[in-house]
């Protein structure tokens, strides 16, 4: 019924109860989870988890990891993409992108990895999962520079209406998750209400971006480790916020976002119809 288009199921936060997390997701009606890699060290791990649980995965290097990436990191990613090219569960290159929010990240190094990975995705014929944080215009410029034609998902989208339209025109869907559940997130709620029906997908970014009912302050998380952890089982309740701003039923929300996820990541459609 539901597709979580972005969940870091391999994260250490899930080590103690990963099987239970998966069971809760399935009980909540989440039939498919996309597990993106963040560095060369977890390329094989996300693939293993996808196969173990009948989910899907993406291979890529996250912008927060590029500063410590090995000199041959792009070559290693290219080799992994080539080795698993025939794997139906490999649905995208990701998580890749640019982050101009976190201090200390060299923008030139980020651009090198971003453009390099776009080229790898173009060569592999795969869509991309884009990390967008204060970087929408630069991401769009990179897509145009490479002539990228396979679309994908602008994950946790938080840009302007104009930037949203630009991504949509380039064949991208926009990912909405826990932030949508906060009434103070007025810009994101306005975007979720106004973009075309076929531009929306749902995600959790678990264990991160918890919805309003799970949110804990930094002080609370420090006092009680593990508090505020997000997981895929929360997706249907997050979807209620999308349904509310769109004026949709929950069934309509599931139908539309599921179809959009399969359109953004075509290999998902084959997995879901198998």
pLDDT value of residue 179: 98
Residue 94 exposure: Cα atoms within 13 Å on the Cβ side: 28
On average, the pLDDT of the chain sits at: 96
User: Residue 152: beta bridge partners?
Assistant: 128, 172
* pLDDT value of position 112: 98
Give per-residue pLDDT as tens, 92-140: 999 999 999 999 999 999 999 999 999 999 999 999 999 999 999 999 9
Model confidence at 219, pLDDT cuts 50, 70, 90, reads low
What radius of gyration, in Å, describes the C-alpha atoms of the chain?
Answer: 17
pLDDT at 221: 65
Whole-model pTM above 0.85? yes
What is the dotted CATH code of the domain comprising 2-273? 3.20.20.140
Domains of the chain, by residue range, sit at: 2-273
């Amino acid at each position: 019924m539901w597709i979580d288009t972005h969940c870091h199921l391999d994260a250490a936060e899930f080590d103690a109860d990963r099987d239970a997390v998966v069971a809760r997701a399935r009980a909540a009606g989440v039939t498919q989870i996309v597990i993106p890699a963040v560095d060369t060290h977890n390329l094989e791990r996300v693939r293993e988890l996808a196969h173990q649980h009948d989910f899907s995965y993406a291979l890529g290097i996250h912008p927060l990891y590029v500063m410590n990436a090995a000199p041959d990191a792009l070559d290693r990613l290219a080799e992994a993409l080539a080795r698993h090219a025939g794997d139906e569960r490999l649905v995208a290159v990701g998580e890749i992108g640019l982050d101009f929010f976190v201090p200390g990240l060299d923008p030139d190094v980020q651009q090198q990895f971003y453009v390099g990975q776009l080229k790898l995705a173009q060569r592999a014929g795969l869509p991309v999962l884009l990390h967008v944080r204060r970087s929408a215009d630069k991401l769009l410029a990179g897509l145009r520079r490479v002539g990228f034609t396979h679309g994908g998902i602008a994950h946790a989208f938080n840009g302007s209406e104009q930037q949203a339209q630009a991504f949509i025109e380039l064949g991208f869907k926009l990912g909405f998750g826990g932030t949508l559940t906060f009434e103070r997130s007025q810009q994101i709620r306005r975007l979720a209400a106004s973009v075309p029906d076929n531009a929306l997908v749902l995600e959790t970014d678990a264990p991160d971006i918890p919805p309003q009912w799970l949110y804990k302050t930094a002080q609370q998380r420090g006092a009680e480790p593990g508090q505020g952890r997000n997981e895929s089982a929360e997706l249907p309740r997050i979807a209620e916020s999308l349904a509310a701003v769109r004026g949709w039923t929950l069934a309509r929300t599931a139908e539309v976002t599921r179809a959009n996820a399969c359109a953004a990541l075509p290999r998902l459609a084959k997995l879901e119809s198998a």
